[in-house]
Amino acid sequence: MTRRTALALFASTLTRAADRLPANKNVKWALGSNLWNSFPPVPFTDIFDVMKDTGFIGVRVTQFPAILKKYDITAEQMKKEADKRGLSIITISFNGPTHDAAQRETVFANARTAMNFLKTFDAKLLVVFPPNRSNLTEAGFKTMCQTFNQLGELAGEMGFRAGLHNHMGEMVQTQEELDRCMALTDPKLFWFSPDTAHLHLAGCDAAKNLEKYKSRLMMMDYKDAKIDPAAKFVDTIYDLGDGDIDFPACHRVLKSMNYKGWICVDLDIARKGPRASYERCGAYVVSKLEPIYV
């Protein structure tokens, strides 16, 4: 093979790879930084490089504010490196003792800190996780929902939307709990940021819930899963297309509502490493989902 032939082959390979990147038009694709906690420490810029190379142009930051110390990076440095690559910080994973009325002021203070951090990146979304399921009581659930409404009001005052992220092992896990939380929160104040894997593993139909609450969709996680009662949670999570969730059905819901916003592919495991998993997920997005809605 001549040098010219080799260069031509290399160029065509790069073109084919670029063709497989998500288009990021109506739907914009993000990933979660939490995956990297399962691997040896790297500079935060390595996460950005994987994002740029695989077409996932946004990131949900986890373990804020500790993550800044972990990666020895400031918000300003993070923004500079993201801007260089055309990437966005879109939200954080926010949680707190929302079930405990005595701790509301602490929750609100932490939420203000989180949203002021996100303002650095012109982000407008606050994804809110419920408390641990060990705190689940009738009174605690009602208090949590009241606090969610107040968080939503605070977020609105700061130019944000706040929304529920359902989760296994937390106080909004089952279909009944999800429906009740949606009923006890004000749709004008508190939105919905569902996770398809956690819906599926709790016995809920992901696409039906997107349809049911599409008027409140703020953003969402597309995460694939297979139910296996004998497996650890992390071993039930898969790259997009390798599990049992009907993402084409989910995407048809998004098309029906002309959705414009973020989807986070927040993997909990990458069996061959983050880059390989996000290349695989990106290829699934392009081949199976973008023909439905891009």
- The pLDDT assigned to 19 comes to 62
pLDDT the model gives residue 20: 83
State the Cα–Cα distance between residues 190 and 113, nearest whole angstrom: 19
Tell me the whole-structure pTM to 2 decimals. 0.92
Distance CA 217, CA 166 (A): 13
At 36, which helix (H) or strand (E)?
A: none
Helices (H), 86-158: 104-119, 138-157
Provide the token pair at 229.
Answer: 């009662």
pLDDT mean for each 10 residues of the chain (294 residues): 46 48 98 97 98 98 97 98 98 98 98 98 98 98 98 98 98 98 98 98 98 98 98 97 98 98 98 98 98 98
Residue 276 burial by CB count (10 A; 0-12/13-18/19+): exposed, middle or buried?
A: middle
Q: Which has the closest alpha carbon to 190: 167, 222, 221, 213?
A: 213
Q: Cβ atoms within 10 A of the Cβ of 174, count?
A: 14
The predicted structure's pLDDT at residue 11: 43
Domains and their CATH numbers in the chain: 22-289 (3.20.20.150)
Q: Hey, which residues does 58 pair with through a beta bridge?
A: 30, 88
User: DSSP secondary-structure letter at 235?
Assistant: G
